[in-house]
Amino acid sequence: MTLLTLIFVAILAGLTLIVHRFPLRFDWTEGRRHSLSAQSKQVVKKIKEEVHIRAFLQEGNPNKKKTQSLLETYAYENPRIRYQFIDPDRQPALARQYGVRHYGTLILESGGRIQNVSSAEEEEITQGLLRLLQKRTKKVLFLTGHGEKGIQDTEKTGFSMARGVLEKENYQVEEINLLAGKGIPEGSDCLVVAGPQKPLFAEEVEELKKFLSSGGRLLVLLEPFQDGGLKEWLSTFGITIHPDIVIDKVSRIFGGDFLIPMAGTYGHHPITEKFRVITFFPTARHLETAASPPTGYTLDPLVRTSPESWAEFDKARLERGEASFDPGKDRKGPLTLAVALTPLPPTSGAGPEGSDKKGTNPPKGRLIVFGDSDFASNAFFNLAGNGDLFLNTVNYLTEEEQLIATRPTKAPVKPLSLTRGQARLLFLVSLVFIPLAVIAAGVSVWRSRRKAR
């Protein structure tokens, strides 16, 4: 018996050591509320140095258990992440050393760099880790002066929400007016042209050409029947834009309008390779790509509509509410709504200074064109995967591929809704039938015992 007991204890100790050395966690909750989002996992995987997280919480703080569970999840994804809890009341010197003024503050430290996180939320912690990883802040510029979507505009058509999320991901977001004559500043990582209502001047188009040819990254969002004066220039890259608007009957199933095409099919590209979320594009136009891309580039369709959609070319009929598919004039779906122009990597025959066999520099810039700008506006940014698609596009253009993922979302709250009949049945069962059954059982037992006497 002693031998069997020792063997049993040894087995338990061995299993404990194995589990401690190779921990496994399973999250079967709806919405995976006890797991990190795809974006957080992408960021955590990039951590190569030790990261120490100090959580300044009082002893007995009701949020400590929740914070510990979240930090354990980060440590589980990457063992290089370590954490500890510090009571600022018991260790005030340490709190003053890190400049902690509020309870619940987290200090992230790695390689001599420190980031302050104000609250123990996944989004805040992930952004803090991201700032630790980045060597410099990337700059994203939004063109102005032609009726574009404004990053300061908080109305439904504005881009203030997109600006706020970009800033949370450690981007420096500014507006630029090329008519000022200063050109595009050095160190600009991406330029966004968000729905210009008036054509750009020839001098501005030349600035865009120089920016792209010198390795700049350009994101163009065009509305139907408005090309921003970029139609001819985009055609040189094999991207053709037509005066049309996309109509999609499938959107009615989701309670949308015919002019809000739904997209659920995406191309094979780093932006959309793992993207599995539906997106909506209010008042969009379709893009046509050339059969053969320009030399040194690849043309990749990113987003396509459903087969039930079509491109309506008759604007007058559309305004009268009489739009219908005309096989001889309109174009049947699926239709391309976004295109990526990506330079090919340098060939093995490139010279020592990065020139190809002909002695010319290979293309370096990246260009992405959408046939819609409203999908990233304040009114639709949080609709389905719209915001994620816009942010993933900017992440790709700025070479922040580790951020290309689905952002953290809060678990949906599902209230219990009962009909009048269901509520009455619940009342009768819980407050009438069950108590009566207990009383009846008690009376029956009492009577049977009395008869037995």
- Contacting residues for 61 by C-beta, under 8 A, at least 6 apart: 103, 104
Handedness of CA 343, 388, 335, 218 (dihedral sign): negative
Is pLDDT at 121 greater than 50 in this prediction?
yes
Adjacency order of strands within the sheet including 81-86: 81-86, 51-56, 105-110, 113-117
Structure tokens at 119: 């609250």
pLDDT (0 to 100) of residue 351:
41
Handedness of CA 263, 264, 267, 271 (dihedral sign): positive
Do residues 57 and 85 make contact, with C-beta atoms less than 8 angstroms apart? yes
Query: Mean pLDDT over residues 13-30, rounded?
Result: 82
Q: Backbone phi, then psi, for 262, in 5-degree steps?
A: -100, 140
pLDDT (0 to 100) of residue 357:
45
Query: Mean pLDDT over residues 47-57, rounded?
Result: 91
Is pLDDT at 377 greater than 80 in this prediction?
yes
> What amino acid is encoded at 234 in this protein?
L
pLDDT (0 to 100) of residue 238:
92
Query: Mean pLDDT over residues 367-385, rounded?
Result: 93
pLDDT per residue over 58-83, tens digit each?
A: 888 888 899 999 999 999 888 899 99
Handedness of CA 16, 20, 24, 28 (dihedral sign): positive
Do residues 98 and 114 make contact, with C-beta atoms less than 8 angstroms apart? yes
More confidently predicted of 439 and 250: 439
Q: Cα separation of 165 and 441, whole Å?
A: 62
Q: What percentage of the chain reaches a pLDDT higher than 70?
A: 91
What's the topology of domain 135-347+362-403?
A: Rossmann fold (3.40.50)
Q: Where are the beta strands (DSSP E) in 255-376?
A: 262-266, 279-280, 287-289, 297-305, 309-312, 331-332, 336-343, 366-370
pLDDT (0 to 100) of residue 400:
81
Helices 122-133 and 38-45, axial angle in degrees (round to 10): 30
Is pLDDT at 273 greater than 50 in this prediction?
yes
Adjacency order of strands within the sheet including 309-312: 245-248, 309-312, 331-332
pLDDT per residue over 225-236, tens digit each?
A: 989 999 999 999
pLDDT (0 to 100) of residue 409:
54
Residue ranges per domain, the chain? 31-132, 135-347+362-403
Alpha carbon 259 to chain centroid distance?
24
Helix (H) or strand (E) holding 94: helix 92-97
The dihedral over CA atoms of 69, 73, 79, 82, expressed in degrees to the nearest 10, equals -40
Q: Cα separation of 419 and 105, whole Å?
A: 45
| Domain 31-132, CATH number (from 3.30.70.100, 3.30.1230.10, 1.10.3720.10, 3.40.30.10) | 3.40.30.10
